[in-house]
């Protein structure tokens, strides 16, 4: 009689432990899947598009500088009329549209930012992009401005986007490896 009680008790303990271990494994798999989905969303909806647009803008800017300022000098004072016209075309068709797209993505999907708070470099870039609105609205008047009021944050913005993208890609790769095992 005692043997049967011990046997049935042991069977119950084993069943409970098996259920608990299985449940715990399912919870881990579920959390891993949610994390994979979150990281994938960060890449697909925020950092991927930001990287493509920021890289595109950076390459266009480098080519513009190489073509029109081959010795790396920055123009001092107002631009000559031909250079000013060329600059207007580039800003209207290349730089401002990309900056606006980046700002729209950050505004729409800022919840996917890796950090707890919005990074200063992202806010600086968005402020720069916002000044294009005023610049372009005033551009065809007599009082022509040749630059935005708030300067582009420079390479720090592209570096931030690149580094964040790489961090997320590494995490995604690791999560996918874990989910396969």
Position 18 in a domain: no
49-83 in b/e form (b: 16+ CB < 10 A) is bbbebbeebbeeeeebeeeeeeeeeeeeeebeeee
* Greatest mean pLDDT among 14-18, 65-69, 166-170: 166-170
- In this predicted model, what pLDDT tens digit does every residue of 11-23 receive, in sequence order? 777 878 877 777 7
Query: So what's the pLDDT on residue 72?
Result: 67
Q: Is residue 13 part of a domain?
A: no
The pLDDT value recorded for residue 116 is 95
116 Cα distance to chain centroid: 14
Which pair of tokens denotes residue 91?
């800003």
Return the closest-CA partner of residue 52 out of 151, 158, 156: 158
| Position 116 in a domain | yes
- Within-domain flag for 104: yes
For the entire predicted model, the pTM comes to 0.81
Total domains in the fold of the chain: 1
Nearest Cα neighbor of 96 from 137, 157, 62 is: 137
Does any domain span residue 27? Answer: no
Q: Give the domain range for residue 112.
A: 38-71+79-180
Q: Given a cut of 70, is residue 60 above it in pLDDT? A: yes
Question: Where is pLDDT greater, at 178 or 23?
Answer: 178
Look-up of token digits 């979150």: 38
Which is higher by pLDDT, 68 or 169? 169
Whether pLDDT at 108 is above 70: yes
Neighbours of 103 (CB within 10 A): 19
Q: Kindly state whether residue 109 falls inside one of the protein's structural domains.
A: yes
Average pLDDT over residues 24-41: 88
CB-CB contact of 83 with 68 (8 Å): yes
Q: Could you tell me the pLDDT band of residue 7, with boundaries at 50, 70 and 90?
A: confident
pLDDT tens digit sequence for 110-165 = 999 999 999 999 999 999 999 988 888 877 764 455 677 788 999 999 999 999 99
Residue 5 lies in a domain: no
Task: Give the whole-number percent of the chain exceeding pLDDT 70.
Answer: 92
Q: How confident is the model at residue 25 (pLDDT cuts 50, 70, 90)?
A: confident
Distance CA 40, CA 171 (A): 10
DSSP 110-146: GGG-SSSS--HHHHHHHHHHHHHHHHHHHTTSSS---
Q: How many CB atoms lie within 10 A of CB 96?
A: 20
Helices first, then strands: H and E counts in the chain: 6, 0
Is residue 65 situated within a structural domain? Answer: yes
């Amino acid at each position: 009689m005692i043997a049967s009680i011990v046997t049935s008790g042991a069977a119950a303990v084993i069943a409970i432990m098996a259920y608990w271990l299985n449940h715990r494994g399912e919870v881990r798999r579920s959390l891993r899947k949610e994390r994979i989905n979150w990281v994938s969303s960060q890449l697909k909806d925020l950092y991927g598009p930001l990287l493509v647009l920021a890289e595109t803008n950076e390459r266009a800017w480098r080519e513009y500088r190489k073509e029109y300022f081959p010795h790396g000098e920055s123009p001092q004072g107002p631009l000559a009329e031909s250079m000013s016209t060329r600059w207007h075309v580039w800003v209207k068709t290349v730089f401002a549209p990309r900056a606006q797209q980046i700002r729209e993505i950050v505004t729409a999907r800022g919840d996917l930012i890796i950090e707890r708070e919005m990074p200063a470099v992202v806010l600086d870039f968005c402020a720069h992009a916002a000044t294009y609105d005023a610049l372009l609205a005033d551009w065809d008047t007599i009082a022509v401005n040749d630059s935005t009021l708030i300067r582009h944050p420079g390479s720090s913005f592209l570096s931030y986007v690149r580094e964040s993208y790489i961090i997320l890609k590494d995490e995604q790769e690791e999560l996918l490896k874990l989910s396969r095992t």
